[in-house]
Structure formats: C-alpha cells, structure tokens
Amino acid sequence: MSDLIEKIKQSGLKGRGGAGFPTGLKWEMVQKAAALKKYVILNASEGEPEVFKDFYILSHYFKEVVAALELALKTIGGQEAYIYINHKYYQKLKRKIKSLVKDKPIKVFVKKGGYLAGEETTLMQVIEGQRPEPRLRPPYPTEYGLYGCPTLINNVETLYYVYKIYQDDYHQNRFVCFSGDLRFPGVYELNENLTIKQMLEETKNWPAKDFFVQVGGGASGEFLFSGELDTPLKSTGAIIVYDKKKTNVLNLARKLVNFFYHENCGRCLVCREGVFRLKEILAQKKPDFEKAEEIAFALSQLAFCGLGSGCGVALYSLITKLIKNGTPKN
C-alpha cells in the first residue's frame, strides 16, 4: 500500500484538524517506524466552538471514513484502530457506528473531558486512562504514541479525503462551516484554493454591512477585518461572521477568555497564569489593553499546547485590531 502514500503525497493533502501537517508524510513516518504494534486513531472529538464540519461528514459519509480507517491500518501495518468520538456525536450516530465497525479491528472510544481532550496527545492520555493533559513533544505520536507505540492520528475530514484520493476522486476541496451574522449558515464543500472572501461570495454570505470575521473556530480562531480576506483559509475550516455595529467586542473578548479559563488543564505555567491574568484584566471596568495585548502575544508564542497558543492568537488579534481601534462600551 506504499502507492497510496505516494498518491496522498502527490495530492498535497494536509491535515484538516488545524495543524496542517502533510498527511502523506505523517503516514510514511508511521509506516517506516520499527515496532511490533502500531495504532491508528480517528479523531472525531470536534470540540472547537462553531466548528461542525466533522459531524456533517460523519452524518453523510461515515462509510467512506471507516473505509479510509481500514486503508490506514493496512498501509502502516497497524493492528488496531480507534474511533475517538465526541459524546454528543456518538449518541446521534451510535447505531450507524456499530453496524459499520462490526467484526473490524476498530474500537470506539467516547471522548471524556472538555475542549483539551481533543488535542492529539491528550486524547491518547484519555484512552490510556490517564489525566487529560497534553504530552511533551518530541517524541511525536508517529514514533511514540498510544501505549508507547507508533500511532497515526487523523481527523475525520482528513480521512474522508484520503478515501477520495484512493478512489482518484480528490479535487483539492475542503469542508467549511459558516456561522454568525450571515444569511446562509451551514457546511459547504469548496475548493481549498479559494480566498476567504471568495468563499463568502460563493456561498452568498458576503455581508452587506460592515463586518469582521473569526477564522479557524469560535475560540482559537484569528480575527480579521473584511479587507484582510484575500487569502486562503489555512486553519480549521470555520468562518464566523460578526456584524461590527452590533457586536460588543469587549464582551466577546471576555467570553473567549472565560472559555479558555474553564477549559485550562493548569499544567503549563504560561497558559495557567496568562489566561488567569487576561481574565482578571478584561473583567475590569477600564481594562489595561496594553497589558492584555502583551500577555496574549506571550501566550501565542510560549504556551505548551494549542489551547494556550489559540487563546493568545484569538485575544491578540481581537485586542490589536478591534479593541484598540476604539475602546468598546462596557
């Protein structure tokens, strides 16, 4: 099955879970790893607010995703696969899941924990029955993953497109969630080379009023002005539109920092203290935005895992682009 890895590499497919790592290279690393046992994990945990593309794919194309999971096992020389799934999704799809994985070397593990339990090293901790917190990398899961064995972890959309590549039916598309202050919310399959502006226009979701967007998810996504959208969508496939006139951006910042405060595992000093200080500053009647900006930037650069860096990216872009352009009403 090495020819499949070559096809994946030639397609240019990158992981659709947010990190954007080349999929073919990841498969090749696990295939070449010397080990008696290897695992494959389908990450169907999808916990980023305003991101629901994986559920859409599971609802419509679960059979194709399971077929890709089996292809992954054969290609890397794996013995067992896991479907690590959001508990809400499992409740809605469990009958379909059970029928599709019956008599296959695939186990279903229902996600335990919150937002952070969807991070790839954390989910291995959860499956192993350990504390839900991220692991230090390196070593990476491709060499030392589940139970210390080489492990291939892909999200739902990535495996769906692996199946399309296997069928010679991949056309550089991706799934994108649209939500917020727009006319036609939902999940659309679009060419990945379209700019964010073109995606909004093609789905008839370009707002008539002054707006800004958050791309990549409703928690960790970066905020962009309407004039900054002539660039492809490189992160997790989500575009949230905000009516600039209607949105209290300070309240939005408080909502974001509260989310990260409650989802924080407390392991990383930079993240633990940084998120706490951001929450403390933004709760004030007259927040010190200069200080908040410094802390958010530090988080984006120094946090141990994606939770802290995501918080930093979101808050830094919101503060520098929207709040500092005019102090919002409390």
Burial of 95 (0-12, 13-18, 19+ CB in 10 A): exposed
> Which stretch, 58-62, 98-102, 323-327, has highest mean pLDDT?
58-62
Report the distance separating Cα 27 and Cα 165, nearest Å.
Answer: 14
Of the candidates 55, 62, 5, 65, the one whose C-alpha atom is nearest the C-alpha of residue 175 is 55
pLDDT at position 136 is 86
Residue 18 has pLDDT above 80, yes or no: no
Of the candidates 309, 233, 314, 297, the one whose C-alpha atom is nearest the C-alpha of residue 268 is 309
pLDDT at position 306 is 81
pLDDT tens string 277-322: 999 999 999 999 999 999 999 999 988 888 889 999 999 999 998 8
Residue 324 has pLDDT above 70, yes or no: no
**Are 214 and 256 within 8 A, CB to CB?**
no
Altogether, the residues listed in the chain come to a count of 330
Whose structure tokens read 């550089």? 172
Residue 328 has pLDDT above 50, yes or no: no
pLDDT at position 311 is 92
pLDDT at position 329 is 44
Two tokens, residue 12? 């240019």
Report the distance separating Cα 210 and Cα 162, nearest Å.
Answer: 39
Segment 43-70 mean pLDDT = 96
Segment 192-214 mean pLDDT = 96
User: All domains of the chain, ordered by start, with CATH?
Assistant: 2-166 (3.40.50.11540), 173-243 (3.10.20.600), 249-323 (1.20.1440.230)
Name the least confident of 88-97, 105-114, 181-190, 266-275: 266-275
pLDDT tens string 125-166: 999 999 999 998 899 999 999 999 999 999 999 999 999 999
pLDDT band at 73 (very low <50, low <70, confident <90, very high): very high
Average pLDDT in the chain: 93
Segment 91-106 mean pLDDT = 94
Two tokens, residue 47? 């916990």
**Are 281 and 292 within 8 A, CB to CB?**
yes
- State the DSSP code for 323: I
Segment 244-260 mean pLDDT = 94
**Are 48 and 238 within 8 A, CB to CB?**
yes
Residues 6+ apart with CB under 8 A from 235: 18, 20, 215, 216, 217, 221, 222
